[in-house]
Amino acid sequence: MSDTIKKSMLPFGFIFLYGSGFIFTQYGLQNSSPMAFLSIRFFIAFWILLLIAYMLKVPIPKTKKEFFHIAVAGSLTVGTFSIGVFLSISYGVSGALNALIIALQPIIVTFIASKFLEETANKKVWLGLIIGFIGVAFVVVSKLDTSYASFIGVFWSVVALLGLSFGSLYQKKYCTGMNLYSGGAIQTLSSTVLTLPFLYFENIHITWNTEFMIALVYMAVGVSIGALSLLYVMIKNGEVSKVSSIFYLVPVSAALVSYFLLGEKMELNVVIGIITVLVGIMLINKRKA
């Protein structure tokens, strides 16, 4: 298999796993309080990653500074992002709508990367980002209601968006040499610690049925380990602003999985938004002749 094919498989694998994660979160929260679900998910992922790191004898951070940077990046990219999404969904914002809000990440990352990481973005990239933003905004505005819970839910979605955006940049700047297994264990542990204060404020409950177990295993293994590993590999190998542009495709995956798993209808405004997003992606990733 050629390197070109391998590299093209990474974003598609990430898009599927990450996008479907929003829907499996919504699926799991039907049987659990948000922070209880999230804490168990992180704890399981931590022990799996730690076991893999031990068995493979992979390198661990050599200094406290390196350990600190990995923990901070994880607390943002994994912890803050996941807490925001889980709380948003618990307030009634659907997984598909959450995915659309998170798809605004390329705008934030491209702007900050151009300022602080000295990455350049030409006019076609900015035009693609703007078109993608319009596609996302079109769907979000049409699906959002005016209830208090909805606004609180969107607030937590924005918290998730900011955590993921700044976390991706922090990961690119300070953690490009991070081992996926030992570093992943540190990041899921720091994210677990981050969720603990939230447990104090929620009415903890879990129904240990088949649906919850499926959601838990998928989120712990498929997303916490699989999707995030693919994301970090792409961040390490490419410009963070270009990597972030694929987040525009995450809502496509979320909408499709939501249709098949939860039976949610594929509305016309969502289809229009997705097509607009795809046009934006084409412009962002179009190479110079």
196 burial type by CB count under 10 A (0-12 exposed, 13-18 middle, 19+ buried): exposed
Place of tokens 């798809």: 103
Alpha-carbon distance of 204 to 63, in angstroms, equals 37
Please give the C-alpha separations between residue 251 and each of 14, 80, 140, 237, 281, in angstroms, as whole numbers: 12, 20, 11, 24, 13
- On whether residue 203 sits in a domain, the answer given is yes
Alpha-carbon distance of 245 to 109, in angstroms, equals 9
Domain count, the chain: 1
Q: Provide the mean pLDDT of the chain.
A: 82
Q: Bridge partners of 206?
A: 32
- On whether residue 139 sits in a domain, the answer given is no
144, 136 in Cβ contact below 8 A? no
Per residue in 57-69, pLDDT (tens digit) is 999 888 999 999 9
Instruction: Give the chain's count of helices (H) and strands (E).
Output: 14, 0
- On whether residue 268 sits in a domain, the answer given is no
Per residue in 224-251, pLDDT (tens digit) is 888 878 877 777 776 555 566 677 677 7
Residue scoring higher pLDDT (276 or 139): 276
Residue 215, pLDDT > 90, answer yes
**pLDDT at position 119:** 58
Alpha-carbon distance of 1 to 16, in angstroms, equals 21
**pLDDT at position 238:** 65
Beta strands in 99-249 (DSSP E): none
Q: Bridge partners of 118?
A: none
Kindly state the average pLDDT of the residues 106-132.
70
Per residue in 141-173, pLDDT (tens digit) is 766 676 778 889 989 999 999 999 899 889 888
**pLDDT at position 99:** 82
- On whether residue 249 sits in a domain, the answer given is yes
Per residue in 19-43, pLDDT (tens digit) is 888 889 988 999 999 999 999 999 9
Residue scoring higher pLDDT (159 or 114): 159
- On whether residue 47 sits in a domain, the answer given is yes
Closest of 234, 208, 259 to residue 99, by C-alpha: 259
**pLDDT at position 80:** 96
Q: Bridge partners of 32?
A: 206
Residue 2, pLDDT > 60, answer no
**pLDDT at position 258:** 78
CA angle 58, 61, 66 (to 5 degrees): 150
Kindly state the average pLDDT of the residues 86-96.
89
First to last CA, the chain: 26
Q: What is the CA radius of gyration of the chain?
A: 18
**pLDDT at position 70:** 95
- On whether residue 274 sits in a domain, the answer given is no
Alpha-carbon distance of 197 to 234, in angstroms, equals 32
Alpha-carbon distance of 257 to 88, in angstroms, equals 19
Q: How many CB atoms lie within 10 A of CB 86?
A: 27
- What is the percent of the chain with per-residue pLDDT over 70, rounded to a whole number? 84
Residue 288, pLDDT > 50, answer no
Alpha-carbon distance of 38 to 219, in angstroms, equals 9
* Domain residue limits at 228: 3-114+144-263
- On whether residue 279 sits in a domain, the answer given is no
Name the token pair of 143. Answer: 């699906």
Residue 4, pLDDT > 60, answer no
**pLDDT at position 113:** 67
Residue 185, pLDDT > 90, answer yes
Residue 125, pLDDT > 80, answer no
pTM: 0.83
Alpha-carbon distance of 284 to 275, in angstroms, equals 14
- On whether residue 155 sits in a domain, the answer given is yes
Per residue in 261-281, pLDDT (tens digit) is 777 776 777 777 777 777 776
190, 121 in Cβ contact below 8 A? no
